[in-house]
Chain A
Amino acid sequence: MVLALEFPPINEILRWRDLFPTFNKVALIAVAASLISIVIFLLAARKDGLKAPQGVRNLAETIVEFIEEQIIMPTMGRHGMGWTPFLLSLFLFIYLCNLPGIIPILYMPATARIAIPMFLALLVWVIFIGVGFKHQGPAYIKNSLFPPGVPGPLYILVAPIEFISTFLVRPFSLTVRLFANLLAGHILLVTFSLLTEELVQGDSLVLKPVGILPFFMLMFITAFEVLVGFLQAYIFTILAAVYIGGAAHPEH
């Protein structure tokens, strides 16, 4: 009787041998994400922009319009258009780091390790604080910690809460949201892959047909991870836009 399936430690399912010293699979995916983005826009830029966009140019323009219309306009308005290249890079990089989680052979989202989400979150944190000081000067701190319209005595409560939520929790939440979602998805994929394999290849004739159930779950979760990969890239990018836009124009 089968009592349990011991699952490999998380360290192990996320650990890959170095392709060469100081360069592992996560680094490979990050570099590939950057290169793929560059190649897409390089090929798009070489096509005649005056003609109706097709192929890779259409793809690039669709992504640009998505960033401008769905992320920048609702959060920062027209004066946020200058942030399009950064937010475009952020979205593409995160999405292409998420996507290998469902690509056969790779099967590893680079964002399921904490280094890249943490770097991106800290970068956004540095940028929105910098933007806040650039646009508001030292008053940025005062405006952030003491929002107008709050009764004076409540500032005793509000100021620490604002400090924690704005300056401490934001990078942490950005990091954990992306990292944990992708890690959880990766663990689910590994779980159902291993379970399917073990049930189908096992000796028990009774358990072999049961292997179809985790296989269907594997298919479902794979499809779900396509959505999660896109959604997490979108959420990270739109929150970055909200933070930057809020720091530049606190009245919004």
Chain B
Amino acid sequence: MLTAVVTRGLAVEVRFVTVEEEGEEHGSEKMSYEESKDFCEFPYETEEEYEAEASAAHPCLEGPSPLAVEVKELAWGAGAFVVLALLMRFWLFPAVKKGMDARYALIRDGHEAADTARGAARAEVAEYESALATVKAEANERVDAARQTLESERAARLAEVNAAIAAKREAAAAEAAASRQAAEADVASAATEVAARTIELATGKAPDAAAVRSAVEASMNAGVSS
């Protein structure tokens, strides 16, 4: 039946062997003095001492528990840490931190400058908006004034034009009335002449011109009125 054992050399190895082989393995497991000396802490100072006193098992197997404090590890570990802590406390950390603080201060100053600039810009914007509002109000006033002026001028011009038109209309109406009267007089005169001639031809004697004219005018007036 197979079981498993560990063999040990300069490095840890494992392999599976039979139960029968296991005894042989353990029997031949003892390493040479040189191999053992290189492998771990070694309690034997001479090869003779090792051969005489070391058991078949590797001497390293009998080493201290991992819970046992190794003085050399404690000393080197403590020394390394103390050196690091002291250098960090008095030199390395302050040097790095100084740069960090300087940069943070620079950034903080930059932020403050940016805040100041932002405040100034906002004030300028407010001032500009105020000026813009004033200018707009002034412009509106001027536009309103111009509009009123234009309106009054337009009204005045309109009144003038209307008056001129009315005058021209009256003149035209008067002229038309005069022309009409003249035309009516001409028509009445012509009609009187035609009526007087017609009567003269019919009666053989000339009628009274005033009576004929009066009759014609009465007839024309009656026609207009009707």
Q: Is the CB of B100 within 8 A of A64?
A: yes
Does A240 sit at the interface, judged by CB under 8 A?
no
Q: Which residues of A contact B14 (CB under 8 A)?
A: 5-6, 8, 194, 197-198
B102-A113 in contact (CB<8A): no
Contact mask A5-34 → B, CB, 8 Å, 1/0?
111111111111110001110110011011
Which single member of B5, B69, B95 contacts A115 (CB below 8 Å)? B69
Which of B36-44, B169-177, B209-217 is found at the contact surface with chain A?
B36-44
Q: Give per-residue flags for B120-137: 1 if the beta carbon is below 8 A from chain A beta carbons, else 0.
A: 000000000000000000
Q: How large is the interface on A (under 10, 10 to 19, 20 to 34, 35 or more residues)?
A: 35 or more
Complex: A23 Cα to B84 Cα, angstroms: 18
Which of A11, A27, A34, A61 interacts with B83 by CB under 8 Å? A34
**Knowing A41-B96, A113-B70 touch, does A202 contact B15 (C-beta < 8 A)?**
yes
A52 CB, nearest partner CB in chain B, Å:
8
B2 at interface by CB-CB < 8 Å: yes
Chain A residues with CB under 8 Å of B69's CB are 114-115, 118
Q: In the complex, which residues of chain B have a beta carbon less than 8 angstroms from the beta carbon of A119? A: 74, 77-78, 81
Q: Which residues in chain B, 60-92, are within 8 Å of chain A measured between CB atoms?
A: 60-61, 63-78, 80-81, 83-85, 87-89, 91-92
Report whether B76 and A30 are in contact in the complex, using a CB–CB cutoff of 8 Å: yes
Complex Cα gap A151–B197 (Å): 159
Q: Does A110 contact B (CB under 8 A)?
A: yes
Residue-by-residue, is B93-122 near A (CB-CB < 8 Å gives 1, otherwise 0)?
A: 101111110110010000000000000000
Of the residues B71, B80, B89, contact of A30 by C-beta under 8 Å: B80
Question: Interface on chain A toward B: helix, strand, loop, or mixed SS?
Answer: helix
Q: Which of B63, B65, B93, B102 contacts A64 (CB 8 A)?
A: B93
Chain B contacts for A34, CB-based, 8 A: 80-81, 83-84
How far, in angstroms, from A23 to B74 measured CA to CA in the complex? 11
Q: Once the chains bind, are A116 and B61 in contact (CB under 8 Å)?
A: no
Is there a chain B Cβ closer than 8 Å to A120's Cβ? yes
Q: Does B52 contact A (CB under 8 A)?
A: no
Q: Check: B8 CB closer than 8 A to any chain A CB.
A: yes
Q: Which residue of A lies closest to B89 (CB)?
A: A85
Of B64, B74, B78, the residue contacting A11 (CB under 8 A) is B64
CB pair B73–A113 under 8 Å, yes or no, is: yes
B73 close to A3 (CB less than 8 A):
no
Q: Does A149 contact B (CB under 8 A)?
A: no
Specify which chain B residues have a CB less than 8 angstroms from the CB of A50 in the assembled complex. Answer: 99, 102-103, 106
Q: Does A92 belong to the interface (CB within 8 Å)?
A: yes
Query: Bound state CA distance, A61 and B102, in angstroms?
Result: 13
Q: Known A27-B77, A34-B80, A41-B93; judge A6-B41 contact (CB<8 A).
A: no
Q: Does A42 contact B (CB under 8 A)?
A: yes
Contact pattern, A 42-84, Cβ under 8 Å of B = 1, otherwise 0:
1011011111010001001100100000000000000000001
- In the assembled complex, which residues on chain A have CB atoms less than 8 Å from the CB atom of B74? 115-116, 118-119
**Cβ B66 vs Cβ A115 within 8 A:** no
A183 located at the interface, meaning its Cβ lies under 8 Å from any Cβ of chain B in the complex: yes
Query: Given A116-B77, A118-B74, is A183 in contact with B85 using a C-beta cutoff of 8 Å?
Result: no
Residues of A within 8 A of B39 (CB): 17
In the complex, chain B residues whose CB is within 8 Å of the CB of A30: 73, 76-77, 80-81
Q: Which 9 A-B pairs have the closest CB atoms?
A: A49-B99, A27-B76, A45-B95, A34-B80, A41-B92, A116-B77, A115-B73, A115-B74, A30-B77
Sample (9) of A-B pairs whose CB atoms are under 8 Å apart: A3-B4, A4-B3, A11-B64, A35-B80, A49-B96, A49-B103, A50-B99, A86-B85, A115-B74
Told that A34-B84, A45-B99, A93-B80 touch, could you supply 7 new A-B pairs with CB distance under 8 A? A12-B61, A38-B92, A84-B93, A88-B88, A113-B73, A114-B69, A116-B74
